[in-house]
Amino acid sequence: MRRSWVLVMVFLWVTLTSVTAMGKGAITFWLMPNAPDETHIPWLEEKAREFETQTGYKVNFEVIGWGEAWQKISVALASQTGPDVFQVGTTWNPQFAATGGLEKLDLAEFGSAEAFMKANYVSTTYKGESYGVPWFAETRCLFYNKDMFAKAGVQPPATYDELKAVGKKIVETFGEGSAIAIAGTNAWDLLHNWAIVLWAYGGDLLTPDNKQAAFNGEAGITAMKWYASLILDGLAAKACAEYNQPQADAAFINGNVAMCFMGPWNIAGIEQENPDLPYDVVEPPAGPVKRASFSGGSNLVILKGSPNKDAAKEWIKFLLTKENLVDYTKNLSHMLPAKIEAFEDPYYDTGVWQVFKKTLGYATAYPPLAVWGDIENAVVREFRNILTAVASGQYSEDTVKLYLDQAAEKVNEALARER
Amino acid sequence: MVRRTLRGILGRVLFGLAIFLVLAGVLIPYLWMVSGSFKTTLEIQSADVLKPELSPRWFPRKFTWENYLRVNRTVRMLDYFRNSIIISVGTMVFSVGISLFAAYALSRFAFSWKRTYTLAVLSTQMFPGISFLIPYFMMFVLIKHYLGLPMQNTYWGMIFTYTSFALPFSILMLRNFLDSIPREIDEQAQIDGCTPTGALFRVILPLAKPGIAAVGIYSFIMAWNEVLFATVLTGRETKTVALGLLEYITAQQARWAGMMAACILVSIPVLVLFSLMQRYIIEGLVAGATKG
Amino acid sequence: MSSQARGRRAFRFILPALLCMLFVHVIPIFWGAYIAFIDLDIYTITRWMQAPFVGLRNFFTVFSPATDVGVRYLRSIWNVVYFGLVTIPAGYLIGLLVALLLNRKFFGRTLVRGLILLPYITPDSVAYNVWRFIFQARIGIVNKYLLALGLIKEPIIWLVGDRAIYAVMIASVWKGWPFACLVLLAGLQSIPQELYEAAKIDGASSFGLFRFVTFPMLRPVSATLLLLSAIWNFHAFNQFYILLGADPGKAHVPSTFILQEAFTNFHFGQGAAMSVFLTVVVLLMTVVILRVRRRGEEW
């Protein structure tokens, strides 16, 4: 009896471990649904084949929804298994680097640090070292409905004050809530929407040394009041207070609302949902201090525990060749390349892309901190409280300061943990 | 006399009404699910409760089979079905095997730590999964690191996990079942020269078939339905249907129609298995909640 | 056979089950208790064997109303308690009423009994996804009928913010009452008919029958059922995760919150501390339930 047990155990052991020995010469690539599956998957399959004939390495790719990506990546980091190379959002990169689970990279291998858009390069860094390679970039600009503007007799606003004046004219013509669609409590990217106003008013999220919260100062309060006033003054619908970003986008894309801050990826949405929409894009308005925009996008990173780092690096280089990068950003993801040489493609001097390219030139990234996730969560939570107060009619003059101070306290609590 | 019949009729009408209300409350979500599964995505997306002409309807404006025929198109539902079947069947087999031995020992042998063990089994059923998810996940990492045996995102890792989840209930239920089989039967077998193991396989096993089937189906359903551990421990190769359903709704797109069709497909195996062994599982569950 | 030999023989039979229990429950729970005392976070996660020991700090953090995590954890505990206080009695009452209805003989009883079991046997993932569809603000039927009845003027956003927990409660009661009904029905059917007849001879009204026969006879079953539900209430995860997503915001319960804090925000140490508290609570409740059950003397 005892011997049979041992035999069973040995048998199990052998069968289980032998399966794991497979898979040399292949890398696993995780990426997000940057384009609709119908075009995305065939493109990836084709490129993987091309890469295999060039280098002999097989690429197994897996498209992971943004919703579950963070958790899957954190599990991969903790266990050091899963993908060899994967896509991360720019704001995620420093946090994942802080875990020690990402491979340190020398950008000289992929061109040089200067070969990439500045803000995207910064997003790959943590304590001065690079842990990723910028892949594509995005920034939000002001989309407006040309017909509605013409009927209301207004021009695209150049400043945030003008935006409100323009909005009031539009409301006079089209009714309450028709001027602008904004993201509300349900938007995970709520902070991105407000940060650009904050910067334009001369404020900043943190002090220059990244040690203290700074967004609850004068500029922050004015910027937040400006955001809340869009709803309070009826420029944006009350329902906006609870919107997520796609809901806000949809209101604009359906043609119900005259303005919306959106990104290049929305252009595909417009072409699909409402190709007749008469829209155009301008840079985000300027504040009293400057014009500011948010730099987002995605980077490619390598898992430290990957047994195939060389193949992983080759794959990144392959994706970043000018031809592949332009093809991917132009025809699939509708984002902007993060590598500067790709902008030589004449496509980026046409129409709206010109505007995005210009805006991206001064776009700002968030500080590359390990505790950034906690910081963003804390600010967004209090931001939500402000919007809830607005929606439920409990907003008063002190609301903004109250909640921003609370947020600052929590941000400082988080910053104290940064090492 | 007349008053009494009147009261009787009134009572019956009220009774019928009450039963009707109960059934309506139970069935409405199912009707909505079925109706949704035959609608087009466009119809659901453009619905708007504020506009009478677009208000969501019970009968699809345009009836379509698309959602069923293309269930694998946006979400890899068929892969998830395969994963779920492998994991659930594996769980079923192991849980039945292991619990049968344990239950037999509890039912037939007298030993000093019987009560302690029964209590321990009972209490493992009480711990919420979250209270050991974190260290359990670390254990998987550790096993991979030191023994080279991948556990996370593997079938056997999931089968092992779910088997252990199913065991407490399976053991207690099978023990109750075996208790109901007269002892004299296996005592006779042992007198005839069987070892306890032999008695278990030759005599008890055939008699315990209904109990075993009920335990097996319980384990299958448990593995089919689990969500919490699956969110952390499964990956592309092992994702189960319970998680797959969530993929129909993303930040960009809400494919409710496809999801409803998939919901129906996911329910079918569970409903079929359950109705097969309904009596035994219910008895076991009721006993679990009243006796232990 | 000596008692030692008997113990060894039993041990051989139980060994596989024991191993499973050891690896899935015992070791992780003690290990979890250990993790709760170390500083396992974003910096140490890949080198967690070297994470520093921090004593009770994680516990202070997660229970302090002065920290962000603390506030949200305490709220999640309150949420799950509140959730239980509403759903358990509601499920019990509906279950009891329907059980009383079904305890009569009538045409089609078997069919009705089978149908009311549907919510209970439907997989959680299916049932709650359907409810999520039903609760959608613009395309769901809840708002459709509330609007039609004139109870609301604008569509209510159910699944976000303060109302979210009520939506989850409704869906959970719908899913949970059939089980209570099943158990109570079994309890009802085990009441000897003679008791009713004796009471009738004594001239009891139908309410009297319920008050003096049915209810007292159901007490032991009800007590175990309610206590078990109270324990399982702390398992609440699926309904919140599926209906509200990975971040239920104000409607977090401990399971969703710990999952998020650990696997999204990398606060594994604090997550473990929160889990330990939950384990202790459940353990205490189990002791209570065993005491209550002792009267039945099953083992």
Q: Which residues of A115-150 are buried (b: 16+ CB within 10 A; e: fewer)?
A: bbbbbbbbbbbbeeebbbbbbbbbbbbbbbbeebbe
- Structural domain boundaries in chain C: 24-294
Name residues 45-74 of chain B within 8 A of C (Cβ): 45, 47-50, 55-56
Q: Mind listing the pLDDT tens digit for each residue in C69-94?
A: 999 999 999 999 999 999 999 999 99
pLDDT value at residue A18 = 46
- Interchain CB contact of B251 with C (< 8 Å): no
- List chain A residues with CB under 8 Å of C46: 77-78, 80, 99-101, 304
Q: Are residues A31 and A82 in the same domain?
A: yes
Residue B51 scores a pLDDT above 60? yes
- C46 to A99: CB separation less than 8 angstroms, yes or no: yes
Token pair for C88: 């358990």
**Continuous segment of H or E residues that includes residue A120:** helix A118-123
Residue A13 in domain: no
Q: Mind listing the pLDDT tens digit for each residue in A189-225?
A: 889 999 999 999 999 999 999 999 999 999 999 999 9
Q: Which residue of C has its CA nearest to B120?
A: C21
Q: Are residues A167 and A280 in the same domain?
A: yes
**Continuous segment of H or E residues that includes residue A60:** strand A58-63
Strand partners, A217: none
Q: Are residues A108 and A166 in the same domain?
A: no
Q: Are residues A287 and A146 in the same domain?
A: yes
Residue B265 scores a pLDDT above 90? yes
- List chain C residues with CB under 8 Å of A373: 264-266
Sheet holding A180-181, edge to edge: A180-181, A259-262, A141-145, A279-282
Q: Which pLDDT band, with edges at 50, 70 and 90, does B252 fall under?
A: low
Domain assignment of residue A254, given as a range? 141-292+371-415
Q: How far apart are CA C218 and CA C208, in angstroms?
A: 15
Please give the average per-residue pLDDT across B72-91, as a whole number.
92
Nearest to B33 by CA among C284, A34, C123, A238: C123
pLDDT value at residue A22 = 45
> What are the two backbone dihedrals, phi and then psi, of residue C41, each rounded to the nearest 5 degrees?
-145, -160
Residue A411 scores a pLDDT above 90? yes
CA angle C131, C134, C135 (to 5 degrees): 90
- List chain C residues with CB under 8 Å of B56: 139-141, 144
Sequence letter at residue B256? W
> Who wins on pLDDT, A51 or C203?
A51
Q: Which residue of A has its CA nearest to C157?
A: A242
Q: Are residues A89 and A39 in the same domain?
A: yes
| CATH code linked to domain C24-294 | 1.10.3720.10
Which CATH number fits the domain that encloses residue A225? Answer: 3.40.190.10
Residue A100 in domain: yes
- Interchain CB contact of B155 with A (< 8 Å): no
- B243 to C234: CB separation less than 8 angstroms, yes or no: no
Q: Are residues A72 and A221 in the same domain?
A: no
Residue A125 in domain: yes
Q: Mind listing the pLDDT tens digit for each residue in B208-241?
A: 888 898 899 889 999 999 999 999 899 878 999 9
Q: Are A315 and A28 in contact (CB under 8 A)?
A: no
- Interchain CB contact of A67 with B (< 8 Å): yes
Counting residues of chain A whose pLDDT is more than 70, the rounded percentage is 94
Token pair for C12: 């051989």
Q: Are C20 and B163 in contact (CB under 8 A)?
A: yes
Please give the average per-residue pLDDT across C117-131, as a whole number.
93
Q: Are residues A160 and A276 in the same domain?
A: yes
Residue A3 in domain: no
Q: Are residues A185 and A114 in the same domain?
A: no
Q: Are A270 and A70 in contact (CB under 8 A)?
A: no
Residues 6+ positions from C206 with CB-CB distance below 8 Å: none
Q: How far apart are CA B126 and CA A258, in angstroms?
A: 56
- List chain A residues with CB under 8 Å of B152: 75, 79, 81
Least trusted range by pLDDT, from A274-288, B186-200, B266-280: B186-200
Number of domains in chain A: 2
Q: Are C266 and A99 in contact (CB under 8 A)?
A: yes
All structural domains of chain B: 2-67 (no CATH), 72-290 (1.10.3720.10)
Q: How far is B70 from chain C (nearest CA, A)?
A: 19
Q: How far is A269 from chain B (nearest CA, A)?
A: 10
Q: Mind listing the pLDDT tens digit for each residue in C203-245?
A: 888 888 888 888 888 888 898 889 889 999 999 999 999 999 8
Counting residues of chain C whose pLDDT is more than 70, the rounded percentage is 98
pLDDT value at residue A252 = 92
Q: How far apart are CA B44 and CA C140, in angstroms?
A: 9
The chain-wide mean pLDDT, for chain A, equals 89
Q: Which pLDDT band, with edges at 50, 70 and 90, does C162 fall under?
A: confident
- B149 to A17: CB separation less than 8 angstroms, yes or no: yes
Which of B152, B156, B247 is closest, CB to CB, to A65?
Answer: B247
Which of B22, B29, B138 is closest, CB to CB, to C116?
Answer: B22
Q: Are residues A189 and A153 in the same domain?
A: yes
Please give the average per-residue pLDDT across C21-45, as a whole number.
90
Q: Are residues A194 and A62 in the same domain?
A: no
Q: Are residues A90 and A117 in the same domain?
A: yes
Please give the average per-residue pLDDT across A243-247, as a whole number.
79
Which of A71, A304, A419 is closest, CB to CB, to C264?
Answer: A71
Q: How far apart are CA C111 and CA B20, in angstroms?
A: 13
Residue A12 scores a pLDDT above 70? no
- List chain A residues with CB under 8 Å of B145: 80
Q: Which residue of C has its CA nearest to A379?
A: C68
pLDDT value at residue A5 = 59
- Give the CA radius of gyration of chain A: 24
- Interchain CB contact of B166 with C (< 8 Å): no
CA angle A90, C242, B85 (to 5 degrees): 100
- List chain B residues with CB under 8 Å of A72: 235
Name residues 114-173 of chain A within 8 A of C (Cβ): none
- C23 to B286: CB separation less than 8 angstroms, yes or no: no
Q: Mind listing the pLDDT tens digit for each residue in A281-333?
A: 999 999 999 999 999 999 999 999 899 999 999 999 999 999 999 999 988 88
Domain boundary, last residue among A364, A382, A406: A364
- C42 to A370: CB separation less than 8 angstroms, yes or no: yes
Q: How far apart are CA A80 and CA C193, in angstroms?
A: 65
Q: Is the full-model pTM beyond 0.90?
A: no
Name residues 298-327 of chain A within 8 A of C (Cβ): 304
Name residues 36-75 of chain B within 8 A of A (Cβ): 74
- List chain C residues with CB under 8 Å of B268: none
Quick one: how far is CA C128 from the chain centroid? Answer: 15
Nearest to B72 by CA among B248, B240, B226, B272: B248
pLDDT value at residue A9 = 58
pLDDT value at residue C299 = 36
Residue A16 in domain: no
- B246 to C225: CB separation less than 8 angstroms, yes or no: no
- Interchain CB contact of C146 with A (< 8 Å): no
Q: Which pairing describes strands A296-302 and A85-89: parallel, antiparallel, or unpaired?
A: antiparallel
Chains sharing 3 or more CB pairs under 8 A with chain C: A, B
Residue A59 in domain: yes
- A78 to B137: CB separation less than 8 angstroms, yes or no: yes
- C46 to A78: CB separation less than 8 angstroms, yes or no: yes
ipTM: 0.90
- Interchain CB contact of A410 with C (< 8 Å): yes
Q: How far is A33 from chain C (nearest CA, A)?
A: 19
Q: Are residues A58 and A121 in the same domain?
A: yes
Nearest to A61 by CA among A75, A47, A80: A47
- C43 to A99: CB separation less than 8 angstroms, yes or no: yes
- C263 to B164: CB separation less than 8 angstroms, yes or no: no
Q: How far apart are CA C167 and CA C59, in angstroms?
A: 31
- A378 to C68: CB separation less than 8 angstroms, yes or no: yes
Q: Mind listing the pLDDT tens digit for each residue in B100-159?
A: 999 999 998 888 889 899 989 988 888 899 988 989 988 888 888 788 888 888 999 999
Which of B141, B231, B236 is closest, CB to CB, to A79?
Answer: B141
Q: Which pLDDT band, with edges at 50, 70 and 90, does A19 fall under?
A: very low
Please give the average per-residue pLDDT across A83-105, as a whole number.
93
Which of C17, C132, C143 is closest, CB to CB, to B102?
Answer: C17
Token pair for A294: 């948010």
Q: Which pairing describes strands A296-302 and A293-294: parallel, antiparallel, or unpaired?
A: unpaired
Which of B227, B286, B292 is closest, CB to CB, to C124?
Answer: B227
Residue A160 in domain: yes
The chain-wide mean pLDDT, for chain B, equals 87
- List chain A residues with CB under 8 Å of C264: 70-71, 74, 373
- Interchain CB contact of A4 with B (< 8 Å): no
Q: Mind listing the pLDDT tens digit for each residue in B91-108?
A: 999 999 999 999 999 998
